[in-house]
C-alpha cells in the first residue's frame, strides 16, 4: 500500500460558533474529492462533525474517539467510512465530555491523541481534527498531535477577542509539547461583503496576522448552515452554492501552499 507523508491539521478556536466544524468537514470533504486520502477526527463531545457527515452519534456500531483516548482502543478499529470516497472519520459522541476529566489522571495526558495517531500515519495524506470550543485537555491533545493549526475567525464585533489566549496556548505547546506546531492559516468565516463591519474585521485581522490570512474568505451562506441537518458536507448538499465554491477555493489554496 502507498505510504503518505501525513500532514495533521487542527481546526481550533476556543470561541464557540466561529465555523470550526463547518470548516473541518468541508476542508476534509474537498481534499477527499481531489482523491486525496483524508481522515477527519471529531474531538468535540458535541459531535457535530460526526453528525454533519451523516454518522449516527448514538449508535454503538462504531467505536469513537473516546474509546481510543480512554479505553485504549487502536485508532484503526474506530475508522468509519463516510459517503465520500477517500474520506474516513473517527467519530465522536457525548461520552467524550467525560474524557476532559478522565484524561487528567493519565500519565501522558497531553499526548494520548498523538500516540494514538502513530498507528494511522502514512495511511492518509491529510488528517483534519475538529476541536471543541475550549482550551482544555481535549484541545491540548489536538494541538500536541498536529503539525499545524487553522484558526477560523468569524467576521463580527470583537472577532479578535480571546485570540491572545489561544495564541498563548499555542506558544506554550510549542515550548513544552510540540515544538513543530505551526499556524497553517487564519480563515475568515461568515463574511458578508455588504457589511462595512466585515471589511473592518478583515483589516484588523490582516494587520495582526499579515500573509497568514487566507485569500479565500468563507461567505455567510444559508446553504452552509443547512447542510449539517441533512448529514451532508456542502459538496453533496449543494455543490453550486457560494459556500461550496468558497471551500473548494480554500482547499486549492491549502494544496498550493503544500506544493
Ligand atoms: P462550536 O464552537 O460550537 O463547535 P463551531 O466553531 O464548530 O461551533 P460551526 O458549528 O461550524 O461552528 O458553525 C456555527 C453555526 O453557524 C452552525 O449552525 C453552522 O451551520 C453555521 N455556519 C457556519 N459557517 C457558516 C457560514 N459560512 N454561513 C452560514 N452559516 C454558517
Ligand atoms: Mg464545532
pLDDT single digits (tens) 164-176: 999 999 999 999 9
- Please spell the DSSP secondary structure of 86-139, one letter per residue: TEEEE---TTHHHHHHHGGGSTTTTSHHHHHHTTTBTTBSEEEEE--SS-SHHH
d(CA 228, CA 30): 16
d(CA 225, CA 91): 21
d(CA 119, CA 114): 10
Contact 189 CB / ligand 1 (< 6 Å): yes
Of 12, 15, 21, best ligand 1 pocket probe by most atoms within 8 Å of the beta carbon: 21
The answer, yes or no, to whether residue 125 has pLDDT greater than 90, is yes
pLDDT of residue 246: 98
The answer, yes or no, to whether residue 71 has pLDDT greater than 80, is yes
d(CA 250, CA 22): 13
d(CA 23, CA 40): 11
The answer, yes or no, to whether residue 2 has pLDDT greater than 90, is no
DSSP SS3 for 211: helix
Q: Which of 146, 212, 157 is nearest to 180 (CA)?
A: 146
Number of Cβ atoms within 10 Å of the Cβ of 219: 19
Contact 16 CB / ligand 1 (< 6 Å): yes
β-strand partners of 151: 186
CA of 48 to the centre of ligand 1 (A): 10
- Please spell the DSSP secondary structure of 147-198, one letter per residue: SEEEEEEESSTTTTTTHHHHHHHHHHHHHHT-TT-EEEEEEEESB-TT-HHH
The answer, yes or no, to whether residue 1 has pLDDT greater than 70, is no
Cell for 46? 458535541
CA dihedral (15, 65, 58, 84) positive or negative: positive
Of 17, 53, 187, best ligand 1 pocket probe by most atoms within 8 Å of the beta carbon: 17
**Mean pLDDT, rounded, of the chain:** 95
Q: Which of 169, 164, 163, 161 is nearest to 138 (CA)?
A: 169
Closest protein CA for atom 17 of ligand 1: 225
pLDDT > 70 in the chain, percent: 100
β-strand partners of 187: 152
> Which atom of ligand 1 is nearest the CA belonging to 191?
27
Number of Cβ atoms within 10 Å of the Cβ of 50: 28
pLDDT of residue 58: 87
The answer, yes or no, to whether residue 16 has pLDDT greater than 70, is yes
CA of 225 to the centre of ligand 1 (A): 7
The answer, yes or no, to whether residue 59 has pLDDT greater than 90, is no
Kindly report, residue by residue over 112-122, the tens digit of the pLDDT. Answer: 999 999 999 99
Contact 52 CB / ligand 1 (< 6 Å): no
d(CA 135, CA 133): 7
The answer, yes or no, to whether residue 253 has pLDDT greater than 80, is yes
With cut-offs at 50, 70 and 90, classify the pLDDT of residue 161.
confident
Amino acid at each position: 500500500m502507498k505510504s503518505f507523508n501525513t500532514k495533521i491539521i487542527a481546526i481550533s478556536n476556543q470561541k464557540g460558533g466561529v465555523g470550526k466544524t463547518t470548516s473541518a468537514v468541508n476542508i476534509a470533504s474537498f481534499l477527499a474529492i481531489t482523491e486525496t486520502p483524508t481522515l477527519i477526527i471529531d474531538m468535540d463531545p458535541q459531535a457535530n462533525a460526526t453528525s454533519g457527515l451523516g454518522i449516527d452519534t448514538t449508535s454503538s456500531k462504531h467505536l469513537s474517539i473516546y474509546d481510543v483516548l480512554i479505553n485504549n482502543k487502536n485508532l484503526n478499529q474506530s475508522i468509519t467510512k463516510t459517503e465520500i470516497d477517500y474520506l474516513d472519520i473517527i467519530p465522536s459522541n457525548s461520552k467524550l465530555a467525560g474524557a476532559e476529566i478522565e484524561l487528567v489522571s493519565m500519565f501522558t495526558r497531553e499526548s494520548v491523541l498523538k500516540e494514538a495517531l502513530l498507528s494511522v500515519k502514512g495511511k492518509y495524506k491529510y488528517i483534519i481534527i475538529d476541536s471543541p470550543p475550549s482550551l482544555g485537555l481535549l484541545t491540548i491533545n489536538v494541538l500536541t498531535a498536529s503539525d499545524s493549526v487553522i484558526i477560523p475567525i468569524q467576521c463580527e464585533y470583537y472577532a479578535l477577542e480571546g485570540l491572545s489566549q489561544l495564541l498563548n496556548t499555542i506558544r506554550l505547546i510549542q515550548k513544552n509539547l510540540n515544538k513543530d506546531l505551526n499556524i497553517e492559516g487564519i480563515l475568515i468565516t461568515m463574511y458578508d461583503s455588504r457589511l462595512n463591519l466585515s471589511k473592518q474585521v478583515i483589516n484588523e485581522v490582516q494587520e495582526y496576522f499579515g500573509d497568514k490570512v487566507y485569500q479565500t474568505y468563507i461567505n455567510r451562506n444559508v446553504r452552509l448552515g443547512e447542510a449539517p441537518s441533512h448529514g451532508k458536507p456542502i459538496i453533496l448538499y449543494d455543490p453550486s452554492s457560494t459556500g461550496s465554491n468558497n471551500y473548494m477555493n480554500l482547499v486549492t489554496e491549502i494544496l498550493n501552499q503544500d506544493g
